[in-house]
C-alpha cells in the first residue's frame, strides 16, 4: 500500500463549482424594510402595541364598538355576548359550598318527598305554619343540590310542556322565578340568576314556538302561512292572537311582582304577535321593576330586561337609560344608609354593591353598543350628565355608574368632554367605587384616544394636584400607571420628576406591599421601554432610589429589562461604570435565580447575561477585560451557557492581543489558560468544540505545547461524553462528526512533537473511536475516512496549507524521514481494515451503500493502485451496487473516479 501523491490545488480547481457574483447577499433582507422596522420601534412609541402588556389592558379594557353587521350578525351577536357574559358572571362570584336561604321554598324540595305527604301531615303543617314563620332560622342547602334541583325543574317543565300540560309548566316556571326573590343567597345569586333565566328563556322559546305554530298552521296541521322574519301583527290569525293574549293574561294574574316581571320578560318577544311596536311594554316593565325593594334583586331584574329586549327586532335604548337612572337612585339611597350604619352592615352593603356591579356594566354596554354620535349626545343629558355645565356639584352620578359609563363612552366623547368628566369624577367620591380608579380609567381612555396636548396638559395638572394628596402608595401608583404613557409620550419632564419623587417619598415612608411592588414594576418597565438609552433613565431624579426599593420577582423583571435594554442594540459596551452597573444587576439576577425554578426564565436571564458579557469591551485595557471575565466566572457559576461565552470572549481577547502593536505573549498565555481551565466546567459535547477552538487560538499564538495539551484534552473529553450524555439528537451527532473532521483538518498543521510518536494524535483518535461502542458504523466510516485522508495528506511532500511562516509544518520537520512515512502507512492500514469492517456492520441497506461509496472514494484518492486495493474496491462497489440503484449519481461518479484512478480495476467493475 502506498500513498498517492496529490495535487490539492488542481484537484480543488477541477472540483469547484463555477462561481458568479450575486447582486445581493442572500441572507440580508431588503434594506428599506429593515430601516422601516427600526423606525417603528424607536420613534413610533404610540403606535406600538405590545400584546404582552396584558396588565394595563385589563382595566382599561374597552370593547371597541364592534361594527355590527346588521344584516347577518345582529341576531347572533347579542346571544354570543350574553353567553360569555353569563359565564363570566358565574366565575366572578365564587360560590361557597353551602347556600343559605332565608326560607326554604317548596320548589327546592325533592319532588318525591312532597308528593308522599299525606293529607293529614299537610294539614298539620298548615297548623304549624305560623310558628314556622316565627322562627326565621337560616336554612342551608349545598349549592350542588340547589343547582341539580334547578336542572331537574327545567326538565320537569319541558316534560310537562311536551305532555301538553302547559299550565303545569307555567306554574313550575313561576315557582322557579320566585327563587330570585331571596337575595340572602348572596354570592350564589349571580349563579342562580344564570340558571333561572336559562329556564325563563326556555319557557319564552316554547311559548313563542307554540304561538308561531298556531299562526302558521291550522289545528289540523294545514299550512296557513309562512311568517316572515319581520312579520306584522296583522299577519297573525285570531286564534294565535287569542292564545298569545291568554299567556299575557295568565302571567299578568301572577300575584307576586318579581316572578310576574321575569315571566313577562321571558315572553316579551311574543308581544309582536299582538302589537307591531311592543316597546311600550318595556318602558312599563322598567317602571314596574322599581317596585322591587331589594337593590340586588331589582338590579338583576333589569339585567334580564336588557337581555330580553335584545330579542325584539328593534328597540330604543330609552328604557335602559331609565334603568341606569333608577339604579343610580337605588345606589345613592343604599349608600346613604351605609353612612349611618357601620360594621357588619357595611360589609353587607359592599357585597350588595359588588353583586350589582356586573348588571350596571352590562346595561351600560347595551346602551352604547353601536350608538350613533348624535344619539350619544342625547343620551348623556338623559343620564343626568352634561346638564349643569355651570354647577357640577349638583350633578350626581354614583362613582360606580360613572366608572362603567366612562368605560363605554365612545372615545371622541371622552376627549371632547374631558374637563367635564374630570369634574364628575371629582364630585362623585362615594363608597361604591374608589375614586382613584376612575382617575386611572380616564388616563387609559385618554391615552387610547390620542388627545391633543393641551387637553392632556389640563387633565394632568388636575390629576397631579389630586394625587399629590394621596397617602397610599398603591393608589398613587395605580393612577400614575394610567398616565405614565401620556407623560412620556408628551415629554412632560416636570411631571415625570414629580411622580418619581412622589413614589420614592411614599415608598420610603410606608414600605411597599406585594401589590404595590407589581404596580411599581409595570411602571418602571414602562419608563424603561420609553427611553432608548439607559443613561437617560438613570439620569432621572429618584430613579436609582426607586430601583433600590424593588425586591423579589419584580426586581428580577425590571433588572432583566434593563439588561435587555443595554444589550438590545448592536455595538459594544465600553463605559466602565455602565459595565459595573450591569454586572451588579446580572449578579443580582444570578443570585436570585436560586429561588426561581421556572426553566424558561432561567434561560432568558442566562441569554441576556451572556449577551452582556459578549458585548463588553474594554478596548486597549485588555487586562481589565480578562479580569472582568474572571469575575464573571466567579460570580455566575450557575449560568452554564455563560461559560461558553467566557471561553469565546477570552479566545477573541487573545486574538486581539496578537493583533496589537506590542505583542504581550504572557497576556496571550493568560487568556488561553483561562479558556483551558474554564472549559472542563462546561458540560456536554460543547467541550470538544471549545477545546478545538482554543487549540486553534493557541496555535495561532505559537503555543505549540498548549496546543498538544488542548488536543489531548479534546480527544479525552470524547470519553466522558458517552457517560455524560445518555441521548443525543441526530443533529448533535452530525455536529460532533463534523467537529472531529475539523480536528483532522487542523492536525495537518500541527507539527509533530519529538517526545511523542509521529502518529500520536491520529492514533489516539482512532483507538478512542474504535473502542467506544456508541459510535455507530456510519460515524465510524466518516471519521475513519477522515483519518485516512489526514494520513495521506501528511505523507505529501508539501502540505496543502500552513499556519504561518514561522511555524514549520511536518513536511519540513520530517522531510525525507522514511520511518515517518512508514508509520503513517502502517496506521492507515489498520484504519482501513476498521473502515471496511464498519461498512459491513451497517444494518441499513441504503446507508451501507453510500458508506461503501465513501470508503471507496477515500481509498481511490488516497492510495496508489495495487491488487489488494483493487479487490477491496471491487467488493465495495459490489456492496454499493447491491444496495443502491444503478441510476444513483454518486455510484456512477465513484465508478468514474475509480476508472480514472485505478485503471486495472476498471475492466472488472464496469
Task: Give residues in contact with other proteins (CB under 8 A).
Answer: 129-130, 133-134, 136, 181, 239, 242, 246, 248-249, 252-253, 255-258, 260, 284, 287-288, 290-294, 297, 326, 329-330, 333
For residue 328, the minimal CB distance to other proteins (Å) is: 11
- How far is Cα 897 from Cα 857, in angstroms, rounded to an integer? 8
CA dist 464 to 40, 448, 481, 497, 502, Å? 31, 19, 12, 12, 10
For residue 526, the minimal CB distance to other proteins (Å) is: 44
Q: Where are the beta strands (DSSP E) in 321-386?
A: none
Count Cβ atoms below 10 Å from residue 767 Cβ, excluding itself. 12
Q: Which is nearer to other proteins, 290 or 587 (CB)?
A: 290
- How far is Cα 573 from Cα 628, in angstroms, rounded to an integer? 13
For residue 133, the minimal CB distance to other proteins (Å) is: 5
Q: Give DSSP secondary structure letters for 150-202.
A: HHHHHHHHHHHHHTT-HHHHHHHHHHHHHGGG-GGGGGGHHHHHHHHHHHHHH
Q: Which is nearer to other proteins, 68 or 287 (CB)?
A: 287
Helix axes 760-771, 730-747, angle to 10 degrees: 160
Q: What is the 3-state secondary structure (H, E, C) of 572-588?
A: CECCHHHHHHHHHHHHH
Sequence-separated (6 or more) residues with CB below 8 Å from residue 547: 524, 558
Q: Is 816 left (phi over 0), alpha (psi -120 to 50) or beta?
A: left
For residue 294, the minimal CB distance to other proteins (Å) is: 5
Q: What is the 3-state secondary structure (H, E, C) of 427-479?
A: HCCCCCCCHHHHHHHHHHHHHHHCCCHHHHHHHHHHHHHHHCCCCCHHHHHHH
Q: Which is nearer to other proteins, 241 or 578 (CB)?
A: 241
Query: Are the CB atoms for 785 and 777 separated by under 8 Å?
Result: no
Q: Which is nearer to other proteins, 323 or 876 (CB)?
A: 323
- How far is Cα 468 from Cα 905, in angstroms, rounded to an integer? 97
Q: Which is nearer to other proteins, 129 or 316 (CB)?
A: 129
**Three-state secondary structure call for residue 340:** helix
**Three-state secondary structure call for residue 118:** coil
For residue 344, the minimal CB distance to other proteins (Å) is: 19
Q: Give DSSP secondary structure letters for 224-240.
A: -----TT--GGGS-HHH
Sequence-separated (6 or more) residues with CB below 8 Å from residue 702: 806, 807
Of 497, 506, 450, nearest to 477 by C-alpha is 506
Count Cβ atoms below 10 Å from residue 680 Cβ, excluding itself. 14
Query: Are the CB atoms for 391 and 423 separated by under 8 Å?
Result: no
Q: Which is nearer to other proteins, 285 or 421 (CB)?
A: 285
For residue 407, the minimal CB distance to other proteins (Å) is: 25
- How far is Cα 160 from Cα 164, in angstroms, rounded to an integer? 6
For residue 258, the minimal CB distance to other proteins (Å) is: 6
Q: Which is nearer to other proteins, 270 or 477 (CB)?
A: 270
- How far is Cα 257 from Cα 815, in angstroms, rounded to an integer? 115
Q: Which is nearer to other proteins, 320 or 758 (CB)?
A: 320
Burial class (CB in 10 A: 0-12, 13-18, 19+), 727: exposed
- How far is Cα 597 from Cα 600, in angstroms, rounded to an integer? 9
- How far is Cα 518 from Cα 562, in angstroms, rounded to an integer? 16
Q: Which is nearer to other proteins, 181 or 655 (CB)?
A: 181
For residue 341, the minimal CB distance to other proteins (Å) is: 14
Q: Which is nearer to other proteins, 331 or 441 (CB)?
A: 331
For residue 335, the minimal CB distance to other proteins (Å) is: 13
For residue 238, the minimal CB distance to other proteins (Å) is: 8
**Three-state secondary structure call for residue 297:** helix
Query: Are the CB atoms for 658 and 701 separated by under 8 Å?
Result: yes
For residue 347, the minimal CB distance to other proteins (Å) is: 20
Q: Which is nearer to other proteins, 203 or 261 (CB)?
A: 261
For residue 283, the minimal CB distance to other proteins (Å) is: 9
For residue 356, the minimal CB distance to other proteins (Å) is: 14
For residue 108, the minimal CB distance to other proteins (Å) is: 20
- How far is Cα 523 from Cα 520, in angstroms, rounded to an integer? 5
For residue 180, the minimal CB distance to other proteins (Å) is: 11
Cell 355590527 belongs to: 68
Sequence-separated (6 or more) residues with CB below 8 Å from residue 200: 173, 176, 177, 262, 263, 265, 266, 304
For residue 262, the minimal CB distance to other proteins (Å) is: 12
- How far is Cα 907 from Cα 777, in angstroms, rounded to an integer? 30
Q: Which is nearer to other proteins, 154 or 260 (CB)?
A: 260
DSSP 885: -
DSSP 5: P
Cell 445581493 belongs to: 24
For residue 290, the minimal CB distance to other proteins (Å) is: 5
For residue 287, the minimal CB distance to other proteins (Å) is: 4
Q: Which is nearer to other proteins, 249 or 391 (CB)?
A: 249
First-to-last alpha carbon distance for the chain, in angstroms, is: 24
Amino acid at each position: 500500500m502506498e500513498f498517492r501523491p496529490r495535487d490539492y490545488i488542481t484537484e480543488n480547481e477541477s472540483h469547484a463549482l463555477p462561481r458568479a457574483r450575486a447582486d445581493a447577499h442572500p441572507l440580508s433582507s431588503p434594506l428599506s424594510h429593515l430601516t422601516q422596522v427600526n423606525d417603528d420601534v424607536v420613534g413610533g412609541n404610540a403606535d406600538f402595541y405590545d400584546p404582552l402588556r396584558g396588565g394595563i389592558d385589563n382595566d382599561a379594557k374597552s370593547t371597541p364598538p364592534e361594527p355590527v353587521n346588521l344584516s347577518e350578525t345582529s341576531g347572533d351577536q347579542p346571544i354570543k355576548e350574553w353567553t360569555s357574559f353569563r359565564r363570566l358572571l358565574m366565575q366572578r362570584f365564587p360560590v361557597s359550598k353551602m347556600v343559605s336561604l332565608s326560607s326554604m321554598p317548596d320548589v327546592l324540595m325533592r319532588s318525591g318527598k312532597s308528593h308522599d305527604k299525606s293529607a293529614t301531615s299537610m294539614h298539620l303543617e298548615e297548623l304549624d305554619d305560623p310558628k314556622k314563620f316565627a322562627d326565621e332560622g337560616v336554612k342551608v342547602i349545598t349549592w350542588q343540590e340547589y343547582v341539580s334541583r334547578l336542572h331537574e325543574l327545567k326538565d320537569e317543565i319541558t316534560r310537562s310542556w311536551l305532555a301538553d300540560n302547559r299550565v303545569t309548566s307555567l306554574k313550575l316556571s313561576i315557582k322557579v322565578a320566585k327563587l330570585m326573590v331571596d337575595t340572602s343567597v348572596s354570592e350564589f345569586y349571580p349563579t342562580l340568576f344564570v340558571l333561572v333565566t336559562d329556564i325563563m328563556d326556555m319557557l319564552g322559546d316554547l311559548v313563542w314556538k307554540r304561538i308561531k305554530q298556531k299562526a302558521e298552521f291550522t289545528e289540523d296541521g294545514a299550512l296557513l302561512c309562512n311568517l316572515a322574519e319581520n312579520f306584522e301583527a296583522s299577519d297573525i290569525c285570531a286564534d294565535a292572537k287569542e292564545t298569545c293574549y291568554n299567556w299575557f293574561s295568565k302571567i299578568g294574574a301572577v300575584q307576586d311582582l318579581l316572578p310576574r316581571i321575569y315571566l313577562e320578560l321571558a315572553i316579551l318577544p311574543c308581544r309582536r304577535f299582538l302589537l307591531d311596536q311592543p316597546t311600550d311594554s318595556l318602558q312599563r316593565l322598567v317602571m314596574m321593576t322599581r317596585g322591587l325593594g331589594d337593590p340586588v334583586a331589582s338590579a338583576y331584574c333589569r339585567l334580564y330586561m336588557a337581555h330580553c329586549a335584545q330579542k325584539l327586532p328593534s328597540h330604543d335604548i330609552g328604557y335602559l337609560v331609565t334603568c341606569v337612572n333608577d339604579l343610580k337612585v337605588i345606589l345613592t339611597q343604599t349608600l346613604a344608609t351605609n353612612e349611618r350604619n357601620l360594621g357588619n352592615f357595611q360589609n353587607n352593603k359592599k357585597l350588595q354593591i359588588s353583586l350589582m356591579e356586573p348588571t350596571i356594566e352590562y346595561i351600560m354596554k347595551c346602551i352604547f353598543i353601536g350608538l350613533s354620535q348624535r344619539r350619544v349626545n342625547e343620551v348623556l343629558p338623559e343620564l343626568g350628565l352634561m346638564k349643569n355645565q355651570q354647577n357640577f356639584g349638583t350633578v350626581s352620578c354614583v362613582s360606580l355608574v360613572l366608572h362603567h359609563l366612562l368605560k363605554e363612552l365612545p372615545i371622541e366623547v371622552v376627549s371632547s368632554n374631558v374637563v367635564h368628566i374630570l369634574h364628575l369624577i371629582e364630585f362623585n367620591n362615594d363608597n361604591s367605587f374608589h375614586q382613584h380608579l376612575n382617575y386611572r380609567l380616564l388616563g387609559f381612555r385618554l391615552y387610547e384616544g390620542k388627545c391633543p396636548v393641551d387637553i392632556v396638559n389640563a387633565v394632568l395638572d388636575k390629576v397631579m394636584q389630586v394625587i399629590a394628596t394621596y397617602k397610599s402608595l398603591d393608589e398613587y401608583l395605580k393612577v400614575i400607571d394610567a398616565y405614565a404613557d401620556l407623560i412620556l409620550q408628551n415629554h412632560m419632564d416636570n411631571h415625570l420628576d414629580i411622580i418619581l419623587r412622589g413614589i420614592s417619598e411614599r415608598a420610603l415612608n410606608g414600605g411597599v406591599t406585594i401589590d404595590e411592588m407589581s404596580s411599581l414594576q409595570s411602571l418602571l418597565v414602562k419608563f424603561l421601554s420609553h427611553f432608548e438609552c439607559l443613561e437617560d433613565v438613570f439620569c432621572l431624579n429618584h430613579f436609582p432610589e426607586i430601583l433600590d426599593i424593588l425586591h423579589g420577582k419584580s426586581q428580577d423583571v425590571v433588572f432583566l429589562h434593563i439588561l435587555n435594554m443595554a444589550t438590545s442594540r448592536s455595538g459594544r459596551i465600553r463605559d466602565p461604570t455602565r459595565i459595573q452597573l450591569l454586572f451588579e444587576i446580572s449578579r443580582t439576577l444570578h443570585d436570585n435565580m436560586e429561588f426561581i425554578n421556572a426553566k424558561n426564565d432561567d434561560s432568558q436571564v442566562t441569554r441576556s447575561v451572556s449577551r452582556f458579557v459578549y458585548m463588553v469591551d474594554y478596548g486597549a485595557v485588555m487586562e481589565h477585560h480578562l479580569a472582568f471575565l474572571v469575575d464573571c466566572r466567579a460570580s455566575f457559576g450557575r449560568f452554564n451557557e455563560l461559560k461558553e461565552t467566557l471561553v469565546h470572549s477570552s479566545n477573541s481577547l487573545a486574538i486581539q492581543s496578537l493583533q496589537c502593536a506590542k505583542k504581550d505573549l504572557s497576556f496571550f498565555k493568560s487568556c488561553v489558560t483561562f479558556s483551558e481551565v474554564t472549559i472542563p466546567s462546561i458540560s456536554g459535547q460543547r467541550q470538544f468544540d471549545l477545546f478545538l477552538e482554543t487549540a486553534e487560538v493557541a496555535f495561532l499564538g505559537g503555543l505549540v505545547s498548549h496546543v498538544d495539551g488542548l488536543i489531548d484534552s479534546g480527544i479525552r473529553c470524547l470519553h466522558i461524553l458517552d457517560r455524560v450524555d445518555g441521548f443525543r439528537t441526530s443533529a448533535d451527532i452530525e455536529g460532533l462528526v463534523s467537529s472531529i473532521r475539523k480536528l483532522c483538518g487542523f492536525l495537518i498543521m500541527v507539527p509533530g512533537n519529538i517526545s511523542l510518536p509521529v502518529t500520536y494524535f491520529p492514533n489516539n483518535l482512532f483507538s478512542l473511536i474504535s473502542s467506544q461502542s456508541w459510535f455507530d458504523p456510519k460515524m465510524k466510516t466518516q471519521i475513519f475516512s477522515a483519518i485516512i485522508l489526514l494520513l495521506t495528506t501528511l505523507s505529501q511532500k508539501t502540505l496543502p496549507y500552513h499556519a504561518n511562516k514561522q511555524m514549520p509544518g511536518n513536511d519540513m520537520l520530517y522531510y525525507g524521514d522514511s520511518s515517518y512515512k512508514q508509520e503513517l502507512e502502517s496506521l492507515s492500514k489498520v484504519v482501513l481494515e476498521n473502515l471496511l469492517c464498519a461498512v459491513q456492520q451497517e444494518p441499513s441497506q441504503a446507508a451501507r451503500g453510500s458508506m461503501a461509496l465513501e470508503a471507496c472514494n477515500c481509498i481511490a484518492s488516497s492510495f496508489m493502485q495495487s491488487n489488494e486495493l483493487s479487490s477491496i474496491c471491487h467488493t465495495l462497489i459490489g456492496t454499493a451496487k447491491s444496495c443502491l440503484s444503478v441510476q444513483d449519481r454518486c455510484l456512477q461518479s465513484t465508478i468514474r473516479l475509480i476508472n480514472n484512478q485505478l485503471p486495472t480495476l476498471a475492466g472488472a467493475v464496469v
